[in-house]
């Protein structure tokens, strides 16, 4: 069994007919339920449901408060390399881009780590471009050894690995994995990923499951919103998260809602995902999986992020840079995408307090 | 009337235990401790940042409190044991609330792994308070494993649904010769009073206080409820009858 089987169940599903069959009354009944099914989750992603955002928001707020309390977990990414062997038409690290490529030395990793930990953050997300040659598992492990001295929880967002490689990294001190499928629609995936190992849809799709098998503590999935019909992509993301949670009960499953940002290329999002739609996705997901984490990064602007607090989001990045060595190095490289919310960790902390929530810097301890 | 409450050889002044998660600001915690009268305070070791004064939850706990670190995040007995040892090594004392949750969907405790961790840790001199699903056989095994108390859930954690497991908890109160502390699920002071009225030794409340509009006042309300419930239990509540006492009883002809 793989999530691919689940995906196939819905691959040829007639979304249009289903959405057309959804009534206002049906939406209200779903909002009122304690537990909702896959198709009910899909109904909450329909155009019809967008008329009921306020009712969904009230429920989502209550569920989030109940399960997570008045807290927002904070983390920041550290980009250690931007070499990439893939040609993904939408990405700033695309191999065909003529950008400054860089891979941090271990001394530079340490400098970055020291600076970031000085802000009080204890959770870090290590990112590399997708190149086994430049960012080998061995190199990632060496980075982890350094990061462990400064952070209590380390997640990775790197190219998909084999189960035994995830096991190695878990043993080295990694406790979380973020893996975006980018786009679940298999055909669109093929069109957008022109060259490189990333063309292998299935290998990427099954990576979160391999991480669960490798006993990764937390696994975070997501679709890059804007690459295809967001209602379907959000639905597949939720199905994926639910599949993983049902099969790997002791892994903390969460989702991210990354929305395409402008970058140094000509590719523009295929589909516009406006603020209202992004909120609808978040609320629908919260009602579908009440206990799962929801991450919103600094891709989103400050005003929008501020208003999401309390609605369903549980984790936010702060003080982010998507450039390799973006925190201390003077000769920086190009970022993967443009940061929208450029506030410092301190500013985010104060903002969260002002919203009546507690910013949480540490929520796990390697044992 | 003497109503001392002793756990692990230590007299505890309040039968309301409180948690420290989910608050909008840690700086509220000392006020909640004061208003609720709680003495035993549980903290997740995962959340204690020993490197930061501001983020270190321990610095918000008044000195006269008993700190009961918990093993939140443990997925099995081995992880719970490691967290407990870390808690003791970092100066959190030798009380430990064991939480082993291998199910992130419902967050229900894993009784089997909890029993294993209890045995190991009680042998190492910890005062072990295991959080569990109310099951008589598991509770008996926890006692045998050296638990200082048993902490059955009233409802799934964080749900505020109240004492849904009432009948099962009542059996533990009747059959297990250890303090029974109702942990998780209590959403209102009246539900805490209900647990105390039926003979629970104490209750542990976190979500209902932390996410209340006014956590300090809600803490106080839970404090009163626990006192009221305990007094009611000690007084012996009246018998509940299904029918009113008939003025002309059917059996009145029997002399």
What pLDDT digit, counting tens, does each position of B129-167 carry? 999 999 999 999 999 999 999 999 998 887 788 899 999
Lowest mean per-residue pLDDT among A75-79, A195-199, A266-270, B170-174: A266-270
Distance from the Cα of B159 to chain A's closest Cα (Å) equals 6
Q: Output the pLDDT for position B183.
A: 92
- Inform me whether the pLDDT recorded for B253 exceeds 80: no
Average pLDDT over residues B42-66: 84
Q: To the nearest whole number, what is the mean pLDDT of chain B?
A: 91
Taking the CA of residue A30 and the nearest CA in chain B, the distance in Å comes to 19
Query: In the predicted model, is pLDDT for residue A264 greater than 60?
Result: no
The answer to whether B127 and B94 have CB atoms below 8 angstroms apart is yes
The predicted model gives A304-330 an average pLDDT of 85
With 0-12 / 13-18 / 19 or more C-beta atoms within 10 angstroms meaning exposed / middle / buried, residue A12 is exposed
**Distance from C-alpha of B188 to C-alpha of B60, rounded to nearest angstrom:** 25
Q: In sequence order, what DSSP letters do the residues of B86-136 get, joined into one string?
A: HHHHTT--SEEEE--B--TTT--B-HHHHHHHHHHHHHTT-EEEEEE---H
Pairing of strands A358-360, B202-205: unpaired
> C-alpha angle with apex B207: B205 to B212, nearest 5 degrees?
110
Contact B47 A358 (CB under 8 A): no
Contacts of A357 in chain B (CB under 8 A): 24
Kindly state the average pLDDT of the residues A330-346: 72
- For A356, left (φ over 0), alpha (ψ -120 to 50), or beta? left
Query: Between A and B, how many residue pairs show a Cβ–Cβ distance under 8 A?
Result: 82
Q: What would the mean pLDDT of B173-181 be, rounded to a whole number?
A: 95
Between CA A86 and CA A96 the distance in angstroms is 8
Convert the pLDDT of each residue in A192-214 to its tens digit. 888 889 999 999 999 999 999 99
pLDDT digits (tens, 9 = 90+) for A137-192: 999 999 999 999 999 999 999 999 999 999 999 999 999 999 999 999 999 999 98
- Asked whether the beta carbons of A113 and A124 are under 8 A apart, the reply is yes
**Over the stretch A84-106, which tens digit does the pLDDT of each residue have?**
888 888 877 778 878 888 899 99
pLDDT (mean) for A286-308: 92
| Residue in B21, B55, B102 nearest the CB of A250 | B102
Note whether B220 and B208 are within 8 A (CB).
no
pLDDT value at position B255? 65
Say whether A365 and B101 touch across the interface (CB within 8 A): no
At residue B112 the predicted structure's pLDDT band, cuts being 50, 70 and 90, is very high
Mean local confidence (pLDDT), A350-358: 93
Is the pLDDT at B251 greater than 80? The verdict is no
Q: What is the pLDDT of residue A102?
A: 87
For the residues A247-259, what does the mean pLDDT come to? 94
* Contact flag B54-A120 (C-beta cutoff 8 Å): yes
pLDDT tens for each residue of A9-43: 999 999 999 999 999 999 999 999 989 999 999 99
Instruction: Give the number of other Cβ atoms within 10 Å of residue A112's Cβ.
Output: 26
**pLDDT value at residue A300:** 86
Rounded Cα distance between A144 and A160, Å, is: 17
Give contacts of B83 with chain A, Cβ < 8 Å.
365, 367
Preferred mutation among A70, A242, A346 to probe B, highest tally of B CBs within 10 A: A70
Contact B73 A246 (CB under 8 A): no
Separation of alpha carbons B19 and B206, rounded Å: 4
Alpha-carbon distance A156 to A138, whole Å? 14
**How far is B45 from B86, CA to CA, in rounded Å?**
8
A80 phi and psi angles, rounded to 5 deg:
-105, -15
Report the distance separating Cα A301 and Cα B176, nearest Å.
56
pLDDT at A331 over 60: no
pLDDT at A50: 95
Predicted confidence at residue A1, as pLDDT, reads 81
Give the dihedral sign, CA A204/A206/A212/A213: negative
CB contact under 8 A, B47 and A363: yes
Neighbours of A49 (CB within 10 A): 25
Measured between CA atoms, the residue of chain B closest to residue A354 is: B24
Min Cα distance B182 → chain A (Å) is: 18
**Which residues of B are less than 8 Å from A71 in CB distance?**
21-24
Contacts of B160 in chain A (CB under 8 A): 66
Give pLDDT, residue A72.
94
Give the pLDDT score at B104.
87
With cut-offs at 50, 70 and 90, classify the pLDDT of residue B126.
very high
Paired strand residues for B97: B70, B129
**Subunit contact A365:B45, Cβ cutoff 8 A:** yes
How much of chain A exceeds pLDDT 90, in percent? 73
- Identify the CA nearest to A348 among candidates A285, A152, A63, A339: A339
Interface test with B, best of A220, A288, A359, A367 (most B CBs within 10 A): A367
Where residue A219 falls among pLDDT bands split at 50, 70, 90?
Answer: very high
Taking each helix axis as running N to C, give the angle between helix A137-147 and helix A163-172, from 0 to 180 degrees, rounded to the nearest 10: 20
The share of chain B scoring above pLDDT 90, in percent, equals: 69
Is CATH 3.40.50.10470 the right assignment for the domain spanning B6-235? Answer: no
* pLDDT at B241 exceeding the cut of 70: no
Q: Which residue has the higher pLDDT, B4 or A240?
A: A240
**Closest CB to B46 among A246, A291, A365:** A365
Q: Which of B52, B102, B210 sits opposite A69 (nearest CB)?
A: B210
Nearest to A69 among B22, B45, B48 (CB): B22
Residue A114 has pLDDT above 90, yes or no: yes
> How close does chain A come to B234, measured CA to CA in Å?
33
Nearest to B211 among A66, A250, A361 (CB): A66
Rounded CA gap, B81 and B69, in Å?
A: 12
- From the candidates B10, B22, B34, B97, give the one annotated as an active-site residue: B97
What strand order describes the sheet that includes B66-70?
A: B151-152, B127-132, B95-98, B66-70, B40-44, B16-19, B202-205, B181-183
pLDDT band at A74 (very low <50, low <70, confident <90, very high): very high
Within 10 Å of residue A171's Cβ, how many Cβ atoms? 12
What pLDDT shows up at residue B242? 65
> What pLDDT was estimated at residue A337?
65
Q: What is the pLDDT of residue A5?
A: 95
Beta-bridge partners for A73: A315, A360
Band the pLDDT of A336: cuts 50, 70, 90: low
B97 included as an active-site residue: yes
The pLDDT-based confidence of A327 (bands split at 50, 70, 90) is: confident
């Amino acid at each position: 069994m793989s999530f691919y089987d689940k995906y196939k169940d819905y691959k040829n599903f007639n979304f249009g007919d289903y959405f057309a069959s959804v009534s206002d009354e049906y939406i209200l009944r779903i909002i009122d339920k304690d537990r909702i099914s896959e198709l009910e989750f899909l109904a909450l992603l329909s155009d019809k449901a967008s008329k009921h955002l306020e009712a969904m928001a009230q429920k989502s707020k209550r569920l989030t408060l109940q399960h997570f309390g008045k807290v927002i977990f904070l983390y920041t990414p550290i980009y250690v390399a931007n070499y990439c062997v893939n040609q993904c038409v939408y990405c700033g690290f695309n191999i065909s881009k003529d950008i400054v490529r860089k891979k941090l030395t271990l001394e530079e990793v340490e400098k970055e780590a020291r600076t970031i930990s000085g802000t009080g953050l204890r959770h870090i997300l290590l990112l590399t471009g997708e190149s086994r040659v430049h960012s080998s598992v061995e190199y990632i492990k060496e980075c982890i050894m350094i990061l462990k001295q400064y952070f209590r929880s380390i997640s990775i967002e790197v190219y998909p690995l084999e189960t035994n490689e995830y096991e190695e990294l878990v043993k080295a001190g990694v406790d979380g994995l973020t893996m975006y499928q980018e786009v679940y629609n298999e055909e669109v995936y093929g069109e957008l990923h022109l060259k490189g190992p990333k063309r292998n849809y299935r290998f990427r799709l099954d990576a979160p499951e391999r991480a669960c098998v490798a006993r990764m503590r937390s696994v975070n999935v997501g679709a890059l919103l804007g690459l295809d019909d967001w209602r379907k992509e959000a639905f597949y993301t939720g199905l994926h998260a639910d599949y993983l949670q049902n099969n790997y009960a002791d892994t903390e499953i969460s989702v991210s809602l990354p929305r395409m940002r402008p970058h140094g290329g000509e590719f523009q999002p295929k589909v516009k995902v406006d603020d209202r739609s992004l909120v609808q996705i978040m609320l629908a997901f919260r009602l579908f999986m009440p206990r799962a984490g929801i991450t919103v990064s600094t891709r989103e602007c400050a005003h929008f992020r501020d208003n999401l607090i309390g609605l369903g989001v549980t984790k936010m990045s702060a003080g982010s840079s998507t450039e390799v060595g973006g925190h201390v190095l003077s000769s920086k490289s190009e970022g993967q995408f443009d940061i929208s919310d450029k506030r410092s960790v301190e500013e985010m902390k104060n903002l969260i307090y002002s919203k009546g929530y507690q910013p949480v810097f540490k929520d796990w301890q390697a044992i | 009337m003497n109503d001392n409450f002793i756990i692990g050889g230590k007299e505890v002044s309040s039968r309301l235990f409180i948690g420290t998660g989910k608050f909008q600001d840690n700086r509220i915690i000392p006020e909640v401790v004061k208003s609720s009268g709680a003495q035993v305070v549980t903290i997740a070791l995962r959340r204690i940042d020993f490197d930061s004064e501001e983020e270190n939850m321990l610095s918000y706990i008044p000195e006269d409190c008993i700190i009961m670190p918990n093993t939140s995040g443990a997925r099995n007995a081995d992880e719970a044991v490691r967290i407990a040892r870390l808690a003791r090594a970092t100066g959190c004392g030798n009380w430990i609330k064991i939480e082993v949750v291998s199910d992130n969907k419902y967050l229900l405790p894993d009784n089997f792994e909890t029993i294993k961790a209890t045995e190991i840790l009680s042998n190492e001199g910890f005062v072990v308070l295991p959080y569990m699903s109310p099951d008589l056989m598991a509770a008996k095994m926890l006692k045998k494993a050296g638990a200082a108390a048993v902490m059955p859930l009233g409802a799934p954690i964080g749900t505020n649904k109240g004492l849904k497991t009432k009948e099962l908890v009542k059996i533990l109160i009747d059959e297990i010769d250890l303090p029974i502390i109702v942990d998780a699920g209590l959403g209102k002071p009246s539900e805490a009073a209900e647990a105390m009225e039926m003979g629970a030794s104490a209750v542990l409340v976190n979500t209902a206080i932390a996410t209340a509009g006014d956590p300090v006042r809600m803490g106080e309300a839970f404090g009163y409820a626990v006192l009221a419930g305990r007094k009611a239990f000690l007084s012996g509540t009246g018998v509940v009858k299904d029918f009113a006492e008939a003025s002309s009883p059917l059996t009145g002809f029997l002399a």
